[in-house]
Structures are given as C-alpha cells and as structure tokens.
C-alpha cells in the first residue's frame, strides 16, 4: 500500500467515525533530509489516522532535554527523538517514561538489542554505522581491519582523514572509543590511545576534518585517500556523483550511531500512538529508503541499493555510550596536550 493510499484510507476512517477532540502533539526531529523523511513517513500517516496535529521541533538533543527539564511538570515536548548520550541524561533525570508494550504493539517487532541500551525507556528507531570511505583509484588494497588501518597510516600506505576533537557526532565513538576497543584498553586509561594517535599524526599521513563536507572535499582533492566516515553519508555522496568513492566496515565491524525515541514524562498520552506509528513496518521502510539508513522493525524490506548496503545490527559494534560521556572531558584534555588538533 502506498503512502497516498494509506493517507486516504485513514482520512476516510476519521471522517466516518472519529468524534474525539483533536490534540496537538509536540515531537522532535533532526534537520535536513532526515526531517523531510520524518514528516512524510511518520507525521503524515499519524495525522491522517488520528486527526491530531503535530508540531515538529528541529534542534539539538541537548537543547530539547534542557527544555523538558526546565518545565518537567508541563513539558513543551511529548515525544523525544534523541541520541544515546542525551537519552541517558533524560533517563537519569526522570524526564522520560518507561515503555509499556501494551501501548506500543509494534514494539514486539523490534529486536531486544535495540531496546536494551535504553533500559526500557525507549528504543532505537534507525541507525548508521561508521566505517572507512576511500578512493578506489588511490587505495587498491584497503585494510581489512581497524588495526591495520591505523598501522597503515603510520607506515605511510596512505593519507587518512580523521575527525577532529570537535566533531562531536563522530570523534568520541568512531575514532576514540574505536581505538580503546581494538586496543583493549579501559576507557579511563587514555594515554596509550593518545600515543597511538600522536604517532599517526607525527607520521605526516593524517589530516583532520571538522565537518562532514570537509571530509568529502579532502578525499576529492587528493589531500586524503581514505578515512573514517558514516555509511549513509558515504553512499549518498557516491550516488551524488563521487564515483571513485567506496565504503566498507573493517573488522571487527562498524561503529553504530543510533537515533532513538522516548516518551516524555507528563507529556500527552497521544505520544504512545505516535511512537507506535514510527515503529510500523511500512512507515519505517518509507523512512529507510528515503534517507538511506537502516531501521529496526524486523519486517521491513529494503529497496535496492539500500538492501545491499544496510548493515545488520548483529554486525556492528555498540560503544559504551555512558562510559564515553563520563570520560570525554578527560579525553579532550589528553587530546589537547598530546594530539593537539
């Protein structure tokens, strides 16, 4: 059934028999193409089926959590789309409600692996994973594992583009935690990890990027040959005309970056129906194919090329998000004193 057909059917049902007073729901979303897909695939079907209206708030998770905390008894947000680190804050500060499966029937189609990290206070809704993007004409034999990638930088096999310390969406997990994990070092002992990074920098074979577009510029210009990047962005860039770009997940796997959804405490109970709409298989499939990211309903079937590109949740690695948040100030200090970029 197409989105148009679903909207028409839902509208007819409302016109025929819905008498309840409409509510206005406030939800959050990330910007850009993510927002457009969110509105088309989640908001429109929900509005058609419920008769409610929806305000979509674009911004940042830290901003949203602060807004809720400032008025927790009468929050300005009902459904919180979030990231893992700020989701943990919302849980610890009792700003969100525990999920009730009886209110979210579609939750039964979401593997436990996507729910467990939220401790019962939410679920992952979609995810990307970090791996390596590289220019095929300049890297004929890309490293098969992450350790070989970093060793190849030091050996001068290629010039690598790495995220700088201020790339908050990428550096803590895809670079730093990644190194802690493959080097099997506790998160509270950063000296050896920073020494490895310093060695790579001192080899002269590292340049840093400070935003996602700069990474692509570095690879296209020849300043870098290979580097850490996100799957969805890499494939979008390739499909958009950077034909020489390829992407893969080195062993022991990519590093997941999930978007999650939580029900705000004291927010409208209509939020449960909105979350259920977000987890519907057809709506999730619509979103996945629009933005190029994997989703969590196990019944979703991806269209090509996403079907060949989307990672399985079983093949990616889950960072210790809580541990990263706790240690990040120390890591930044160590970085500034050793890596210095």
Which pLDDT tens digit goes with each residue over 263-277? 999 999 999 999 999
Percent of the chain with pLDDT over 70: 94
- The answer, yes or no, to whether residue 1 has pLDDT greater than 70, is no
Q: Give residue limits of the domains in the chain.
A: 3-127+257-313, 128-255+318-338
The token pair at 113 is 């692996």
Q: Which of 20, 78, 13, 19 is nearest to 49 (CA)?
A: 13
* DSSP states along 121-163: S-EEEEEEEEEEEEETTT-SS--SBHHHHHHHHHHTS--EEEE
pLDDT at residue number 341: 63
Residue 174 reports pLDDT greater than 80? yes
| pLDDT one-digit tens code per residue, 86-128 | 999 999 999 999 999 999 999 999 999 999 999 999 999 999 9
Partners of 261 in the β-ladder = 81, 123
Interatomic CA distance for residues 223 and 140, integer angstroms? 17
Q: Is the pLDDT of residue 290 over 60?
A: yes
CA distance 275 to 125: 10
Task: Identify the CA nearest to 134 among candidates 164, 100, 165, 161.
Answer: 161
Cα 248 to Cα 160: distance, rounded to the nearest angstrom:
15
The yes-or-no verdict on residue 55 having pLDDT over 50 is yes
pLDDT of 33? 86
Is 223 strand, coil or helix? Answer: coil
245-248 and 79-83 beta bridge pairing: unpaired
Phi and psi at residue 132, to the nearest 5°? -120, 125
All residues at 6 or more sequence positions from 16 whose CB lies less than 8 Å from its CB, including other chains: none
Residue 7 has pLDDT above 60, yes or no: no
Measured CA distances, 30 to 60, 61, 173, 177, 302 (Å): 7, 9, 19, 24, 22
Do the domains spanning 3-127+257-313 and 128-255+318-338 agree at the CATH topology level? Answer: yes
The CATH homologous superfamily to which domain 128-255+318-338 belongs is: Periplasmic binding protein-like II (3.40.190.10)
Residues 235-270 pLDDT 10s: 989 999 999 999 999 999 999 999 999 999 999 999
β-pair type (245-248, 123-135): antiparallel
CA distance 179 to 154: 15
Q: How confident is the model at residue 325 (pLDDT cuts 50, 70, 90)?
A: confident
What's the topology of domain 3-127+257-313? D-Maltodextrin-Binding Protein; domain 2 (3.40.190)
């Amino acid at each position: 059934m197409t989105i148009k057909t679903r909207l028409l059917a839902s509208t007819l049902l409302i016109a025929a028999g819905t008498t309840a007073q409409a509510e206005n729901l406030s939800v959050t979303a990330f910007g850009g193409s993510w927002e457009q897909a969110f509105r088309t695939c989640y908001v429109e079907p929900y509005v058609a089926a419920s008769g409610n209206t929806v305000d979509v708030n674009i911004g940042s998770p830290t901003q949203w959590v602060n807004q809720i905390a400032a008025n927790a008894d009468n929050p300005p947000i009902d459904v919180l789309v979030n990231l893992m680190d700020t989701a943990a804050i919302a849980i610890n500060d009792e700003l969100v409600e525990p999920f009730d499966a009886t209110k979210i029937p579609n939750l039964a189609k979401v593997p436990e692996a996507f729910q467990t990290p939220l401790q019962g206070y939410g679920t992952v809704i979609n995810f990307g994973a970090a791996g390596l993007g590289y220019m095929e004409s300049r890297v004929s034999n890309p490293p098969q594992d992450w350790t070989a990638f970093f060793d190849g930088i030091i050996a001068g096999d290629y010039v690598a583009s790495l995220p700088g310390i201020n790339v908050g969406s990428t550096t803590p997990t895809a670079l730093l935690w990644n190194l802690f994990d493959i080097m099997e070092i506790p998160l509270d002992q950063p000296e050896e990890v920073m020494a490895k990074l310093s060695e790579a920098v001192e080899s002269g074979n590292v340049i840093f990027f400070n935003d996602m577009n700069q990474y692509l510029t570095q690879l296209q210009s020849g300043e870098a040959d290979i580097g850490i990047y996100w799957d969805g962005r890499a494939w979008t860039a390739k499909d958009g005309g950077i034909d020489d770009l390829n992407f893969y997940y080195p062993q022991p796997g990519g590093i997941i970056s999930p978007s999650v959804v939580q029900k705000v405490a004291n927010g409208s109970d209509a939020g449960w129906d909105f979350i259920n709409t977000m987890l519907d298989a057809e709506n999730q499939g619509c979103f996945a194919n629009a933005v190029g990211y994997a989703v969590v309903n196990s019944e979703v079937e991806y269209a090509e090329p996403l079907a060949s590109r989307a990672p399985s949740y079983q093949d990616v690695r889950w960072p210790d998000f809580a541990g990263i948040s706790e240690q990040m100030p120390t890591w930044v200090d160590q970085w500034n004193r050793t890596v210095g970029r």
